[in-house]
Chain A
Amino acid sequence: MTATAPATPSAAAAPPADSAPAARGIRRPWTEHGLTFTAPFLLMYALFLLWPVVLGLKMSLGDDNITGSGGEFVGFDNYAEALTDPGMWDALWNTVWFTVLSTVPLVLCGLVFALLAHGLRFVDWLWRLSWFAPFLLPSGIVGLLWLWIIYPAEFGFADQLLATFGLEPGIGWLSDERYAMLSIVGTTVWWTVGFNFLLYLAALQSIPQHLYEAAELDGATAWQRLRHVTLPMLRRTTLVVVVLQLLASLKVFDQIYIMTQGGPDDATRPILLYVYQEGFTGYRIGYASAVSYIFFALIVLVSLVQLRLARRSREENSR
């Protein structure tokens, strides 16, 4: 530490054009140790990401048991079965439906909360703390908390709140097919909106002030400033937030496993729960792997669409 400390000021003083070739001439530091820096990560990456991808593909082509050995090669039978399995399609549809239902309020609430907190400039800490706090709780605990709020008929908090407003209590928050998914979505919005809120807040804080000053000089009203300065400046952030949210929502598992176990009558069973049930409680690991890979294809599709959109927006910006 002490040896390199004087190096920092000298960097500013000495013209880099002089020092760079000299350093390269003696001992080409830029080409040293590249693999040493990357090897530890690459090892972990190969072991716990690349290899499972390959292993999973192999498993999906066989009828393996849970330890991934002793199975016979069955070709694309698992895929053929999955694609004609109504249980798989229902689970896939539930996943997509949950994603649509949750992404819209999660993005909008994140944006509105950030605009409120940033615009008020008053007790900032209070807003940040209240909207972000639920995100800090483990999913298991969030699930149990909301079970406690909505599930117990009559003495549950939600039912008693309904009764206070003169509405009929005892609607089956989680037992009625019409409401179960909405209850899960509500829980999820409460739990994870804080992350989107934080992304939007960071983006709002880095919008250059002079844009607002210029708009004000031109006589723009508050509404016009929001419409023509703030929202356009948030376009790229919104793209990032939407994509991250889509990918997160597609992977829903925890809160559903805890609150409904996929019920009632599989109405809230997402694809990952189906994989878990087939593979880990039904011991059909080959079949579960095939379902995983169909789901994986969906994720790749979403990612590719996002890349495409990102590229287009970058081109528009540079024009």
Chain B
Amino acid sequence: MSATTDQAVSATTKTLAAAAPVAGRRPRWTRGRIAMLALASVLALVWVLPLLYALATSLKPMGEEVETPLTWIGSTLTLDAYDKVWAAGDIPRWMFNTAYISVMTTLLTVVLCAMAAYGFARTDFKGRKVLYGLVLAGIMVPPQVLMAPLFAEMTALGLVDTYWGVILPQVAVPAMVFILVKFFEGVPRELEEAAFCDGAGRWRVFWTIVMPLSRPVLAAVAIFTFISTWNNFLWPFLVTTDPNGMTLPVGLVNVQSTYGVRYSQVMASLVIAGLPLLIVFALFQRQIVRGVAHTGLAGQ
């Protein structure tokens, strides 16, 4: 028993050791690399299996998903569950709400934070340092601890059960201003100065020189904002009570607690809800990884 454990441990260490890459060329298929491939494949399978199981469940005829013994494929493959989910009408509505809220939040967050970061990094005005310090302190405030006062505020403003009630509290993200200030500080001033000489104003310089230069970092920031808004649960859950205004995550949980779960349909909606983001990531994964490196979040 202990011998096999030892072997497993030494195989793993060797595997990890082989992970240190060698310049430029693709390594040969040594024994260590084959062991790495095996380990990676097993781990990838563990991560993908639940998703495949969801897909398989969603394609089963009604009722068969709870039969034992478990089978991957039911008596027939059917899109019944998808039909029912779609016909029930709420899910398309919730998807629209989620998409609308996520797009608006992402746009506002990126524009507001980029403008503010440019202001803090590149302009001089009275109180700039104090205000920037105040913004940095906000990084420590998790929005979740503010749920009670924010809800009271939203009630007072009459924004409960509106799109803006979900969107507005999510758009001022101090951490993002910090990331972008650090990035803008690294952009050489000469580019902007030349444009000033040619008579361009601040706004023009910002939109036509600084923003295009920052595309990779802005893309990374936008993608993570989009993902986290799309998936946000607690705040939309608190601030929407009307089923018509719910986002997809909130709506699904709400249905489940009210009517109980029909799993093939829930899994069908999981596939529907997960697919858009999966496709986006599959197409842009290389750029996303590179963008993350640009944010400085990776600590380099």
A212 with B66, Cβ < 8 A, contacts A49-B141, A251-B142 known: no
Question: Which chain A residue shows the least CB distance to B112?
Answer: A41
A31 with B124, Cβ < 8 A, contacts A139-B249, A202-B290 known: yes
Contacts of A41 in B (CB 8 A): 112-113, 115-116, 135, 172, 177
Shortest CB–CB separation between residue A183 and chain B, in angstroms?
13
Interface size on B, residues (CB 8 A): 126
A280 with B273, Cβ < 8 A, contacts A129-B282, A138-B233, A275-B147 known: no
Contacts of A3 in B (CB 8 A): 198, 200, 204
> Looking at the complex, which of B73-81, B82-90, B205-213 is the stretch in contact with chain A?
B205-213
A202 with B53, Cβ < 8 A, contacts A30-B123, A145-B267 known: no
When chains A and B are docked, how far (Å) is the Cα of A35 from the Cα of B266?
49
When chains A and B are docked, how far (Å) is the Cα of A41 from the Cα of B121?
14
Whether B133 sits at the interface, judged by CB under 8 Å, is no
Question: Which chain A residue shows the least CB distance to B120?
Answer: A38
Contacts of A45 in B (CB 8 A): 135, 138, 172, 174
Contacts of A239 in B (CB 8 A): 299
Shortest CB–CB separation between residue A275 and chain B, in angstroms?
7
Whether B244 sits at the interface, judged by CB under 8 Å, is no
Whether B297 sits at the interface, judged by CB under 8 Å, is yes
A49 with B138, Cβ < 8 A, contacts A37-B123, A141-B274, A223-B17 known: yes
The answer to whether A11 and B193 have CB atoms under 8 Å apart is yes
When chains A and B are docked, how far (Å) is the Cα of A33 from the Cα of B210?
15
Whether B300 sits at the interface, judged by CB under 8 Å, is yes
When chains A and B are docked, how far (Å) is the Cα of A117 from the Cα of B300?
19
Whether A240 sits at the interface, judged by CB under 8 Å, is yes
* Interface flags, B102-124, vs A, CB<8A=1, else 0: 00000000001101101110111
The answer to whether A118 and B21 have CB atoms under 8 Å apart is yes
Question: Which chain B residue shows the least CB distance to A200?
Answer: B298
The answer to whether A144 and B266 have CB atoms under 8 Å apart is yes
Shortest CB–CB separation between residue B298 and chain A, in angstroms?
4
The answer to whether B300 and A226 have CB atoms under 8 Å apart is no
Whether A79 sits at the interface, judged by CB under 8 Å, is no
Whether B54 sits at the interface, judged by CB under 8 Å, is yes
Q: List 22 A-B contacts (CB under 8 A).
A: A1-B208, A3-B204, A7-B198, A8-B191, A8-B194, A20-B189, A40-B112, A41-B116, A47-B168, A116-B15, A120-B37, A121-B27, A127-B40, A133-B47, A134-B47, A137-B231, A147-B261, A148-B266, A160-B70, A190-B50, A251-B142, A289-B149
The 6 closest A-B pairs by CB, nearest first: A68-B152, A37-B119, A119-B19, A34-B125, A34-B123, A223-B17
Residues of A at the B interface (CB closer than 8 Å) are: 1, 3-4, 6-8, 10-12, 14, 16, 19-20, 22-23, 27, 29-38, 40-42, 44-45, 47-53, 55-56, 59, 64, 66-69, 112-113, 115-122, 125-141, 143-149, 152, 154-155, 157, 160, 190, 198-203, 205-206, 209-210, 212-213, 216, 221-223, 225-227, 229-230, 236-241, 247, 250-251, 253-254, 257-258, 272, 275-276, 279-280, 285, 288-289, 292-293, 295-296, 299-300, 303
